[in-house]
Amino acid sequence: MALVRYCGGIEVSLSNKIILLDPVKKPCSKPDVIFVSHAHRDHYNISVLNRLRNIPLVVSRETYEFLKSKGLKHKNVVIPEEDYVEVNGVSFELHDANHILGSREVLINGEVAYTGDICFERRNMFKPPKVLKANTLIIEATYGSRLYIFPQRKLLYKWVLKKVINDYYEKDKAVVYARSPGVAQELLKLFSKLRVDIYLYKTVYEHTKLYMENGFKFENIKVVDSESSNGIFIYPIWYGKNDDGNGIFVTGWAAVEKDERFIPLSSHSGLNTLLSYVHNSSPEKVYTVYGFAREFASILKGLGYEASCIWI
């Protein structure tokens, strides 16, 4: 059975090898191989990866493109062909995680499954992920709380569209805040059918270009500048700190807000879908990580699973 702990990243000890998943700080032990599930800043750290530059780094091609654009200078990047590879005697089977461009869940040696960040809802891009069956499951718990059971996505799409169309016709302008890469590009696809100009904050535009280079089509998009006036504006979620009270916040965290400008559309699964993942995977041991990892582990224990939280 694998040993799993959190130390700078998720450290998996399996068959005398150490596999380090999504490192964000210096790890406690020197890993034999590293895996990065996707290019969100809470799942990688460029200087840590560059310091471990000679240790094989397994990533999807799209995640590698994101990391390269952020300054990755790793010397031993391994991009699995057809999403399968063996490195230093450890096998990696990658599957689409339906979270952002390039995001993957992974099955290691057929024994340990790690979801990374994952979304089970059917979205307007990507495919819903596969449930990985393994003895040991490491599952994200960003929204592993009773507070976060999200409405159906088609209802959330209607809600966002209604709000954006109302704002656009009343004020000639709709302002939306969403995480990029991720929900921002999902919204962009949703708004494409409205046939109005869509202005993107510069980093959202840069991320969107990578999506386009990987086969996604978006029309009528421009970078926000001082001349931009009429249209739909998409800013990263952090930019919402500048909001004047009219913007629309699209994020899972909105589930606990009462204002209709807060819409809980997320690129993560909510509690109910996380639970159904664990149920369908039926592992012997579950480790929870990120967000509400402690509450999620406690809910799982209450359901009879052997579950531990490895998140601080």
- List residues binding Zn ion (CB under 5 A): 40, 117
The answer to whether 116 touches 105, Cβ cutoff 8 Å, is: yes
Q: Toward Zn ion, which CB reaches closer, 177 or 305?
A: 177
d(CA 85, CA 106): 11
Residue pair 188/201 in contact by the 8 Å Cβ criterion: no
| Closest approach of Zn ion to the CB of residue 203, in Å | 15
Q: Closest distance between Zn ion and the C-beta of residue 2, in Å? A: 23
Asked if 11 contacts 20 with a C-beta cutoff of 8 angstroms, the reply is yes
- CB of 83 vs Zn ion, minimal distance in Å: 19
Would you say 40 or 74 has its CB closer to Zn ion?
A: 40
CA distance to 45, 56, 59, 231, per residue, from 66 (Å): 12, 18, 11, 28
Distance CA 60, CA 84 (A): 10
Residues 32 and 5: beta-carbon distance below 8 Å: no
CB of 261 to Zn ion, least distance (A): 23
The distance of closest approach from Cβ of residue 40 to Zn ion in the complex, given in angstroms and rounded to an integer, is 3
**CB of 135 or CB of 203, closer to Zn ion:** 203
Kindly state the smallest distance separating residue 41's Cβ from Zn ion, in Å: 9
**Residue 2 vs 113, nearer CB to Zn ion:** 113
**Are 78 and 58 spatial neighbours (Cβ–Cβ below 8 Å)?**
yes
Contact assessment for residue 92 and residue 70, using Cβ atoms and an 8 Å cutoff: no
φ and ψ at residue 94, rounded to 5 degrees: -100, 145
For 148-167, b/e burial (b = at least 16 CB within 10 A) is bebeebeebbebbeebbeeb
> What is the three-class DSSP state of 130?
coil
CB of 148 or CB of 233, closer to Zn ion: 148
Contact indicator for 137, 307 with CB cutoff of 8 Å: no
Cβ of residue 141: shortest distance to Zn ion, in angstroms?
13
Which of 109, 269 has the CB closer to Zn ion? 269
Residue 72 or residue 97: which is nearer to Zn ion going by CB? 97
